[in-house]
Chain A
């Protein structure tokens, strides 16, 4: 069974940092592209970042480029999102999502990041 489990969310002050993790199981993680998608409270879905299976290709949404960094460790079946210079509008539930044929076929349960003083 495919499972994606996010962790690392919490309350952080504006300007602070946080590192999210996504533990994958039930599939060969190293062969799949992965993404982070976020959803602000009561709002819609926003794609945040993509990483290829090897980690050699990375894309970011304009709203996060230069502040958020995606990475992966295929030996540990894990995906990461390093979040720096956090702002109030980064407050959201962050989902990791597996990509299959460029669509997102499996999602984690999400982890809430709250940026507030």
Chain B
């Protein structure tokens, strides 16, 4: 099974900050990686797929990069609506989520 590890688990940031979340796979997954945003009490929302392709309607301040085993999600300028938990997901072999990264207000 492919394991996904995100870091950090929690980060505190301010509006306007540049934020980067890392996701590592236990084996190569090529570019078969997605990122989701989840707010409390709500279903997850797809942000990015194939490591770097922005889902329709997602603001351009979100970007993804990486391939193989190391990936990053970057929010270029954090907005109030972005405080949430973010999950990476591999879909190279079935599906596995990372444990999540909570982005909190500093």
Contacts and interface: CB of A to CB of B under 8 A. Distances in A.
A104 interface: yes
Interface string A95-106: 100000111110
Interface residues of A, number: 20
Interface string A34-46: 0101000000111
Contact of A103 (B1, B91, B94, B96): B91
B95 A35 contact: yes
B7 interface: no
A103 B43 contact: no
A59 interface: yes
A50 B49 contact: no
Contacts, number: 51
B97 interface: yes
Interface stretch (A8-16, A18-26, A79-87, A107-115): A107-115
A64 B42 CA distance: 24
Nearest to A108: B43
Interface residues of B, number: 23
A64 to B, nearest CB: 12
Most chain A CB within a 10 A radius of its CB, from B38, B43, B91, B98: B43
Given A46-B97, A47-B94, A109 B43 contact: yes
Contact of B44 (A50, A61, A107): A107
Interface of A: 35, 37, 44-47, 50, 59, 61-62, 95, 101-105, 107-110
21 contacts: A44-B98, A44-B100, A45-B87, A45-B97, A46-B97, A47-B94, A47-B95, A47-B96, A50-B94, A101-B49, A103-B34, A103-B49, A103-B89, A103-B91, A104-B44, A105-B46, A105-B55, A107-B43, A107-B44, A108-B43, A110-B43
